[in-house]
Amino acid sequence: MPDLARVKAALTSQVIETPSWGYGNSGTRFKVFAQQGVPRDPYEKLDDAAQVHAATGVAPVVSLHIPWDRVEDYGALAGHAAERGIRLGAVNSNVFQDDDYKLGSVTHPDPRVRRKALDHLLECVDIMDATGSRDLKLWFADGTNYPGQDDINARQDRLAEALGAVYARLGADQRMLLEYKLFEPAFYTTDVPDWGTAYAHCLKLGPRAQVVVDTGHHAPGVNIEFIVAFLLREGKLGGFDFNSRFYADDDLMAGAADPFQLFRILHEVAKNGGFAPETGVAFLLDQCHNIEAKIPAVIRSVMNVQEATAKALLVDLDALRAAQGSGDVLAANAVLMDAYNTDVRPLLAEVRQEQGLNPDPVAAYRATGWQERIVAERVGGTQAGWGA
């Protein structure tokens, strides 16, 4: 059986990074529903993120999205985070919201647009220097809508050129995480549609380029845990963007749609050493809370990731390997299911109490009165970014 002290140690050392945009108003292309008390600027997003960390103890890092989180002084923003016991994490670039990017950003046929997009990516590295961030997270909306619209491989060449220029600009301790997504907003071809494309580019770039797996970015039925196991084997798993999906890129709370899938993914992480901090796998949330209360939803998502992590850490790997080695299919499957079916909530409550935290993070947050305070004090909160 797994050593309980080691399981607890792994649970307390796990870092779950929350997205600044998860605290802002968001919606679909049909409607953004404004909520009361949402942050008016990036500083207030950090204030909310600090509440999530205070309640859970495992969420001390916040991802930024530029330009949604553009400020005058990034050093001051990092200082604001530090004063609240948190820090700034991945910088997400955004080359998908300008009119110029109608036909693509770094893969656009026009070199002027490509240069503009590249300048933005390089600016994001400047920001990382100021914030002390390790990771640049790249997602490209680039693609085409119609057969014949552009040359598929010419676009790959333009992409490789831009990635190479950004890679060359990275500092020694910085990484580039390349995200893939099957479709949307492009509907015919996407320039980085799958892990294979992202992996091929990262392999050429070098060790500081790694793939990020956004759990909402696959076709239905894709075996994401296989991708995770394979990327870990190759030393190319940079991290996750966790969220849930029922249909497409739904960005619902992690672990809400399919907690079993989240467990299977985290089992591969556990089995392949991915929880060891030195492997550098980043556990990020990438989600939006369109209709539910935002801060409690982020807390719930953190808890869902923790629960799946605890179950993954409880898998009896010795028993699993013995069953696998002897070809005992049912016994091997039973080992996994035993861990998955364990109610880990008492264990997590205990871990929190040992850290001096309330065993119930949602109740802890409600007891602070923070929600009432922000509703009273903040008027005119900002949108997460879309349509802003």
181 makes contact with ligand LRH (CB under 6 A): yes
Dist. CA 170–CA 136, nearest whole Å: 9
Nearer Cβ to ligand LRH, position 283 or 340?
A: 283
Residue closer to ligand LRH by CB (options 213, 232) is 213
Q: What is d(CA 279, CA 67) in angstroms, rounded to the nearest whole number? A: 29
* Full DSSP string of 271-283: HTTTTSGGG--EE
Least distance in Å: CB of 251 to ligand LRH? 7
As separate numbers, helices (DSSP H) first and strands (DSSP E) second, the chain gives 14, 10
Minimum distance from residue 92 beta carbon to ligand LRH (Å): 4
Kindly indicate which of the ranges 10-18, 98-106, 282-290, 343-351 contains the residues binding Mn ion, using the contact rule CB under 5 A. Answer: 282-290
| 92 contributes a contact to ligand LRH by CB under 6 A | yes
Is residue 264 a contact residue for ligand LRH (CB under 6 A)? no
CA dist list (Å): 372 to 34, 108, 236, 328, 347 = 16, 47, 44, 56, 31
Report how far residue 200's alpha carbon sits from residue 234's, in angstroms, rounded to the nearest whole number. 12
Among 48, 179, 191, 268, binds ligand LRH (CB under 6 A): 179
214 belongs to the binding site for ligand LRH (CB under 6 A): yes
Member of 44, 150, 191, 241 binding Mn ion (CB under 5 A): 241
Lookup: tokens for 332: 């091997």
Site for ligand LRH (CB under 6 A): how many residues? 9
Radius of gyration over every alpha carbon of the chain, rounded to an integer in angstroms: 21
The item of ligand LRH, Mn ion, none sharing an interface with residue 92, based on CB under 5 to 8 Å by kind, is ligand LRH
Using the minimum distance from each CB to ligand LRH, give the nearer residue, 183 or 230.
183
What is the rounded CA–CA span in Å between residue 265 and residue 286?
16
> Which residues share a beta bridge with 88?
62
Q: Which H or E run contains 190? A: strand 189-190
| Gap between the Cα atoms of 37 and 136, Å rounded | 30
Residues 98-157 interacting with ligand LRH (rule: CB under 6 A): 139
Binding mask 20-59 for ligand LRH (x = CB under 6 A): -x--------------------------------------
Asked if residue 258 binds Mn ion (CB under 5 A), the reply is no
The distance of closest approach from Cβ of residue 150 to ligand LRH in the complex, given in angstroms and rounded to an integer, is 21
Query: Token digits for 350?
Result: 């205990």
The residues of the shown chain that bind ligand LRH, judged by CB under 6 A, are 21, 92, 139, 179, 181, 214, 241, 249, 286
